[in-house]
């Protein structure tokens, strides 16, 4: 029961995160390259992106210990699906979430706002690429669906 709820929340939140990322990156790009001066809205969208990514971290950490797809055994390494959830998904996603957190926090601390937004754009862009690579999209044959 708990597993089903968490699994579907985790799967659905992926879409919210991807959409927030697109808005955040477009906003950060436009601010960073002076095409727009709306700092407050862009910072707020970047904050929502950070919060949803932290939510995914919490839900993912619980799933990691209750999911039937995470099997703590050396033999998992020779199975594509088991290896993906045991090692690949968690490690790349945690790196991505750390990059988002560093990017957001640094931008807050740098006094030159424009420089801060440029820094945040770089961190968010790398994080987004890592996340897109690590999502078990259906076409990757990892047993997960679109929702």
Binding to ligand HEM in span 54-83, by CB under 6 A: 54-58, 60-61, 63-64, 67, 69-70
Q: Residues near 121 by Cβ (< 8 Å), separated by ≥ 6?
A: 25, 28, 29, 32
Distance of CA 128 to the CA centre of its chain: 7
Rounded least distance, CB 58 to ligand HEM, Å:
4
Query: CB-wise, 65 or 112, nearer to ligand HEM?
Result: 65
Minimum separation from the CB atom of position 141 to ligand HEM (A):
13
Binding mask 4-43 for ligand HEM (x = CB under 6 A): ---x--xx--x--x--------------------------
Selected range binding ligand HEM among 22-30, 36-44, 53-61, 110-118, rule: CB under 6 A: 53-61
Angle (nearest 5°) at CA 112 between 108 and 113: 55
Report the nearest approach of ligand HEM to the CB of residue 35 (Å).
25
For residue 101, how many other CB atoms are within 10 A of its CB?
16
Question: Which residues, 77 to 116, sit near ligand HEM by CB under 6 A?
Answer: 85, 89-90, 93-94, 96, 101, 105, 108
Residue 6, exposed/middle/buried by CB under 10 A (0-12, 13-18, 19+)? middle
**Helix-then-strand count for the chain, H and E:** 5, 0
79-83 CB contacts, 8 Å cutoff, 24+ apart: 80/141, 80/142, 81/142, 81/143
Q: Which residues bind ligand HEM (CB under 6 A)?
A: 7, 10-11, 14, 17, 47, 50-51, 53-58, 60-61, 63-64, 67, 69-70, 85, 89-90, 93-94, 96, 101, 105, 108, 131, 135-136, 144-145
């Amino acid at each position: 029961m708990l597993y089903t709820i968490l699994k579907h929340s985790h799967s659905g939140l992926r879409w919210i995160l991807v959409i927030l990322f697109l808005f955040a990156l477009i906003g950060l790009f436009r601010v960073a390259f002076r095409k727009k001066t709306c700092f407050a809205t862009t910072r707020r969208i970047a904050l929502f992106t950070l919060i949803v990514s932290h939510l995914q971290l919490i839900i993912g950490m619980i799933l990691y210990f209750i999911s039937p797809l995470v099997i703590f055994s050396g033999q998992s390494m020779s199975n594509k699906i088991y290896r993906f959830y045991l090692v690949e998904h968690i490690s790349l996603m945690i790196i991505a979430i750390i990059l988002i957190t560093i990017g957001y926090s640094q931008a807050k601390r740098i006094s030159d706002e424009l420089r801060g937004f440029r820094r945040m754009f770089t961190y968010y862009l790398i994080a987004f690429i890592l996340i897109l690579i690590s999502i078990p999209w259906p076409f990757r044959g990892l047993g997960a669906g679109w929702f």
